[in-house]
């Protein structure tokens, strides 16, 4: 029998290939598109609020935490490396001390990658696929897993007329090239996940084509992490006026794609709504394993 793939993530060996793992989003930012500022009090990040949110996510069935200290929505303000670290590192340390869940750090900043590894993180989740100067070298110095995401352009301008000849082929080729660069830098293949980057420099048509490629399992070279939770593309699809204008009204649409992703065998689904997504992937798991 073929062995299930394993993700090497710090001192953890995480089996993939069964139920899609649910990655819970903890944005410690004042300006993220869906939940920015919710963990702040009187203008400052509240560690108490973060821990209460994290505990609720654990009870809801989260498999991972993903901590982001810099918003990557179009038009978001840039933060300095020190500002990002001040937001992220205390949260990583507190989560590692309190919960037995692996922690992913959503960052492109090399110094934070190294500090997060020292603080006990298990993965680097980089929307820029380790392309900032020094990022690839920093990731290679750690033993953390890395998630490489595709983005056309930069967050501030990425949704200004994105264009592709063949979006699926180009995204796949980019991710393969970045993964190869990681391997050449000494990062074990079993430490690598890839993310097509839904909504990052892509039109609705591009997003839908990419998701069909996920459903078709179209030759993706590494295990997939999918992030579509509450995305603005749903506002372009749905006739529901509330969902067009309010990210928090996109739950049912997010769950529809979560179900399809889970059934298609993705490794992880990055979400805001943990309990609802966990219910979905458990139903998919039951369907896939019936009779075994």
The distance from CA 100 to its chain's CA centroid, rounded to whole angstroms, is 19
pLDDT exceeds cutoff 90 at 187:
yes
Give the whole-angstrom CA distance, residue 177 versus residue 184: 10
Position 292 scores a pLDDT of: 66
> Is residue 270 annotated as a catalytic residue, yes or no?
yes
pLDDT exceeds cutoff 60 at 227:
yes
Give the whole-angstrom CA distance, residue 189 versus residue 284: 28
Exactly one of 191, 231, 250, 278 is catalytic; name it.
231
pLDDT digits (tens, 9 = 90+) for 61-76: 999 999 988 877 666 6
pLDDT range class, residue 161, cuts 50, 70, 90: low
Position 269 scores a pLDDT of: 98
pLDDT exceeds cutoff 70 at 82:
yes
Say how many residues make up the chain: 292
Q: Which residue has the tokens 């690598």?
A: 192
pLDDT exceeds cutoff 70 at 191:
yes
Position 244 scores a pLDDT of: 87
Give the whole-angstrom CA distance, residue 132 versus residue 78: 14
pLDDT-above-90 percentage for the chain = 71
pLDDT exceeds cutoff 90 at 259:
yes
pLDDT exceeds cutoff 90 at 107:
yes
pLDDT average, residue stretch 21-42: 71
Give the whole-angstrom CA distance, residue 14 versus residue 17: 10
pLDDT exceeds cutoff 50 at 285:
yes
Strands (E), 150-257: 192-195, 225-226
pLDDT exceeds cutoff 70 at 158:
no
Superfamily of domain 6-289: Dihydropteroate synthase-like (3.20.20.20)
Measured in Å, how far apart are the chain's first and last C-alpha atoms?
13
Window from 16-30, 62-76, 177-191 with minimum mean pLDDT: 62-76
Position 93 scores a pLDDT of: 97
Window from 101-105, 136-140, 160-164 with minimum mean pLDDT: 160-164
The distance from CA 237 to its chain's CA centroid, rounded to whole angstroms, is 22
Q: Find out whether 229 and 187 touch, Cβ atoms under 8 Å.
A: no
pLDDT average, residue stretch 250-256: 96
pLDDT exceeds cutoff 60 at 171:
yes
Q: Find out whether 71 and 83 touch, Cβ atoms under 8 Å.
A: no
Position 146 scores a pLDDT of: 98
Q: Find out whether 4 and 18 touch, Cβ atoms under 8 Å.
A: yes
Q: Is 267 helix (H, G, I), strand (E, B) or coil?
A: coil
Domain boundaries, the chain: 6-289
Give the whole-angstrom CA distance, residue 226 versus residue 200: 12
Phi, psi (5° rounding) for residue 5?
Answer: -65, 155
| Sheet of 268-271, strand order | 192-195, 145-149, 123-126, 103-106, 64-68, 21-27, 268-271, 225-226
Q: What does pTM read for this prediction?
A: 0.91
pLDDT exceeds cutoff 50 at 1:
no
pLDDT exceeds cutoff 60 at 26:
yes
Number of other residues whose CB lies within 10 A of the CB of residue 232? 17
């Amino acid at each position: 029998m073929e062995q299930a793939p394993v993700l090497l993530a710090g001192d953890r060996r995480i089996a993939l290939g069964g139920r899609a793992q649910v990655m819970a989003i903890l944005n410690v930012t004042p300006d993220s598109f869906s939940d920015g500022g919710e963990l702040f009090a009187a203008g400052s990040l509240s560690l108490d609020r973060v821990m209460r949110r994290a505990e609720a996510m654990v009870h809801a069935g989260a498999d991972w935490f993903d901590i982001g200290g810099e918003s990557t929505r179009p038009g978001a303000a840039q933060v300095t490396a020190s500002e990002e670290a001040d937001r992220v590192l205390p949260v990583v340390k507190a989560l590692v001390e309190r919960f037995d869940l692996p922690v992913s750090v959503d960052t492109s900043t090399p110094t934070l990658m190294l500090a997060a590894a020292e603080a006990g993180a298990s993965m680097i989740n980089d929307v820029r696929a380790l392309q900032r100067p020094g990022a690839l070298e920093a990731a290679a110095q750690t033993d953390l897993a890395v998630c490489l995401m595709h983005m056309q352009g930069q967050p501030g301008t990425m949704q200004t007329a994105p264009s592709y000849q063949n979006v699926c082929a180009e995204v796949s080729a980019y991710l393969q090239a970045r993964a190869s660069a990681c391997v050449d830098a000494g990062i074990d293949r079993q430490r690598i996940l890839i993310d097509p980057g839904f909504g990052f420099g892509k039109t609705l048509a591009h997003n839908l084509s990419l998701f069909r490629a996920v459903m078709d399992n179209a030759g993706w070279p590494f295990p997939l992490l999918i992030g579509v939770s509450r995305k603005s593309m749903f506002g372009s699809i749905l006739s529901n006026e509330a969902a067009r204008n309010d990210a928090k009204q996109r739950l049912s649409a997010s769950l529809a794609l979560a179900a399809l992703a889970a059934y298609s065998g993705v490794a992880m689904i990055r979400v805001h709504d943990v309990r609802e997504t966990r219910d979905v992937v458990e139903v998919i798991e039951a369907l896939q394993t019936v009779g075994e």
